[in-house]
């Protein structure tokens, strides 16, 4: 069994892991790289495998950094099944076409300039047609439902608590007469997140692949995040300003709407202030996603379910208005009253949020409130880092608005949450792979994991391949048991061949996903064989 880390390795986007098992090839996730130009250019590279040979994809959740290259996979020849939860399937039905629209629009804009310059025209990463065609290959699965691919391979989804439909993947693989359990955390959510249930606890596993977005830090003031949100909004409105919230269209937008609706249902002074202004959601994708949430209320946690039981749908406060057309969005840029504007993208790299920032960053009465992770090199990260002037659509804009960040609204578990999740496993992993995080964070997280759980931890780089119970491990054990019986070989060439084989095995074992104790034992065995060979060579 071979595992190659295509993306999400020493980076926080582009999650994609290739499995090769007895001639069968499949992927866990196939996400888009996001961030600066360097990261985005990775999306245009050819896959380091033949997409037509991929039999199926197991998709943990709908966020584009996990699902965004699936249409490209289809464009390049993939025709297999994409297994995911039914809620993720519904969300992908709006998110992947939206991503395709962005690809086509950006290329169209670039090509207008290239045409004037007489340069060769570019092709989009994929088209709307590619996205719509690949959606026909999705198959929805319920949490806890066992999917048996064949006699040697099955998997189960468990609730990851990260976004609607997000899943932990439990893989069961039989090889050489033994079954291995591999667990992919996907993006693991926080406990007590609005709307969503807490992440499911896993019994245990042989090999764990765990995300590490916040693996070296704690979310600050988690208990007071709702109060802080409402305080920032009500204070800004009281001062005559606007609150601009760059938010991921799926997940974070619905959480913020929920918090506002929850506050408005009370008699607090803040509720009275917020009731008197309009709340605009300026994102067609967020509008569609909010409708999909309505379809899957069985995924909601107990508190959200109670609101619904009492006749209140908690994602639609009474003063909410969805902005649909481009003309409405342009009108909103000129809106001169206090208001709340929630718009995507969450990292401010594309979409209508850039227009709202351009028209509102200069005003010191306004507040730009971030409620999610901002990847390096994005406009959102530059604003959070305190940059006083930013370029938006080629125009320099002075930053006078207040920049606020409530990290506790992150959909990712922090260091404490990740450790707690592993600690609750009845059987601890034999080996842990740290994925989906910035390299420096991963290395720090890996060191602490190793110290706390006394297990081998690997931080794989993009493109690295590892084997679970690889054949050469069995070969080395067999060689150790058989070689002494004919160590008196009289042909020097044969001894040299065996020495070459020892070198090959030692190099292969170095990259194997086996326990440190077994690795040490095998290397010791190989060195003993090398010593015996040297004695035989001297005798010869």
Say whether pLDDT at 26 is over 80.
yes
Residues of the domain holding 234 = 224-405
Whether residues 82 and 181 share a domain: the answer is yes
Whether residues 331 and 438 share a domain: the answer is no
Would you say residue 150 lies in a domain? yes
Mean pLDDT of 24-31: 97
Mean pLDDT of 392-417: 91
Distance CA 134, CA 100 (A): 12
What per-residue confidence (pLDDT) applies to 372? Answer: 79
Whether residues 201 and 230 share a domain: the answer is no
- Confidence class for position 249, pLDDT limits 50, 70, 90: confident
Whether residues 213 and 238 share a domain: the answer is no
Whether residues 202 and 263 share a domain: the answer is no
What per-residue confidence (pLDDT) applies to 68? Answer: 97
The mean-pLDDT minimum among 306-320, 402-416, 458-472, 502-516 falls in 502-516
Distance CA 340, CA 337 (A): 10
Using a 10 angstrom Cβ sphere, with 0-12 exposed, 13-18 middle and 19 or more buried, the burial of residue 203 is exposed
How many distinct structural domains can be found in the chain? 3
**What is the distance, to the nearest Å, from the Cα of residue 517 to the centroid of all Cα atoms in its chain?**
32
Q: Could you read off the pLDDT of 307-352 as tens digits, one per residue?
A: 998 888 899 899 999 998 999 999 999 999 999 999 988 788 877 9
Would you say residue 283 lies in a domain? yes
Say whether pLDDT at 496 is over 70.
no
Contact status, residue 165 vs residue 62, Cβ threshold 8 Å: yes
Would you say residue 519 lies in a domain? no
Say whether pLDDT at 486 is over 80.
no
Whether residues 240 and 308 share a domain: the answer is yes
What per-residue confidence (pLDDT) applies to 488? Answer: 47
Whether residues 144 and 286 share a domain: the answer is no
Whether residues 494 and 359 share a domain: the answer is no
Which residue, among 205, 172, 209, 170, has the nearest Cα to 187 in the 3D structure? 209
Mean pLDDT of 272-286: 94
User: Which residues make Cβ contacts (< 8 Å) with residue 76, sequence separation at least 6?
Assistant: 46, 47, 51, 52
Q: Which residue has the tokens 């931890």?
A: 457
């Amino acid at each position: 069994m071979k595992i190659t880390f295509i993306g999400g390795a020493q980076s926080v986007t582009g999650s994609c892991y290739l499995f090769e098992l007895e001639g069968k090839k499949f992927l866990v996730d196939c996400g888009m790289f996001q961030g600066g130009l360097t990261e985005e250019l990775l999306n245009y590279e050819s896959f380091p495998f033949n997409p037509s040979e991929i039999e199926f994809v197991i998709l943990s959740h709908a966020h584009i950094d996990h699902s965004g290259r699936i249409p490209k996979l289809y464009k390049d020849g993939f025709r297999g099944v994409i297994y995911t939860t039914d809620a993720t399937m519904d969300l992908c039905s709006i998110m992947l076409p939206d991503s395709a629209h962005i690809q086509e629009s950006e290329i169209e804009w670039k090509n207008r300039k290239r045409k004037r310059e007489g340069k060769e025209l570019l092709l989009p990463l994929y088209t709307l047609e590619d996205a719509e065609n690949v959606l026909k290959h999705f198959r929805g699965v319920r949490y806890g439902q066992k999917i048996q691919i064949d006699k040697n391979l099955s998997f189960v989804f468990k609730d990851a608590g990260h976004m609607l439909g997000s899943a932990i993947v439990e893989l069961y693989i039989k090889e050489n007469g033994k079954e291995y359990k591999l667990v992919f955390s996907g993006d693991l959510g926080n406990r007590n997140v609005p709307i969503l249930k807490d992440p499911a606890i896993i019994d245990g596993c042989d090999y764990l692949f765990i995300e590490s977005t916040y693996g070296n830090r704690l979310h600050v003031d988690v208990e007071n995040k709702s109060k802080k949100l409402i305080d920032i909004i009500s204070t800004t409105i009281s001062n005559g300003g606007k609150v601009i919230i760059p938010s991921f269209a799926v997940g974070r937008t619905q959480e913020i709407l929920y918090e506002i609706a929850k506050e408005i249902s009370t008699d607090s002074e803040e509720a009275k202030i917020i009731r008197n202004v309009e709340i605009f959601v300026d994102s067609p994708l967020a509008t569609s996603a909010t409708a999909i949430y309505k379809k899957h209320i069985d995924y909601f946690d107990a508190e959200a379910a109670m609101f619904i039981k009492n006749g209140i749908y908690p994602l639609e406060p009474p003063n909410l208005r969805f902005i649909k057309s481009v003309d409405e969005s342009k009108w909103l840029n000129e809106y001169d009253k206090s208001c709340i504007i929630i718009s995507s993208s969450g990292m401010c790299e594309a979409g209508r949020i850039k227009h709202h920032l351009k028209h509102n960053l200069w005003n010191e009465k306004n507040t730009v409130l971030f409620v999610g992770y901002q990847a390096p090199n994005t406009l959102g990260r530059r604003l959070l880092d305190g940059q006083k002037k930013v370029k938006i659509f080629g125009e320099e804009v002075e930053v006078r608005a207040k920049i606020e960040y409530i990290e506790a609204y992150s959909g990712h578990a922090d260091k404490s949450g990740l450790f707690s999740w592993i600690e609750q496993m009845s059987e601890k992993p034999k080996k842990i792979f740290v994925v989906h995080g910035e390299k420096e964070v991963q290395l720090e997280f890996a060191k602490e994991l190793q110290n706390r759980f006394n297990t081998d931890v690997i931080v794989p780089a993009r493109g690295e391949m590892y084997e679970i119970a690889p054949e050469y491990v069995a070969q080395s054990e067999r060689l150790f048991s058989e070689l002494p019986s004919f160590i008196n070989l009289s042909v020097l060439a044969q001894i040299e061949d065996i020495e070459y084989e020892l070198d090959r095995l030692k190099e292969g074992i170095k990259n194997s996903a086996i326990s440190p104790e077994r690795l040490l034992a095998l290397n010791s065995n190989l060195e003993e064989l090398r010593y015996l060979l040297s004695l035989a060579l001297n005798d010869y």
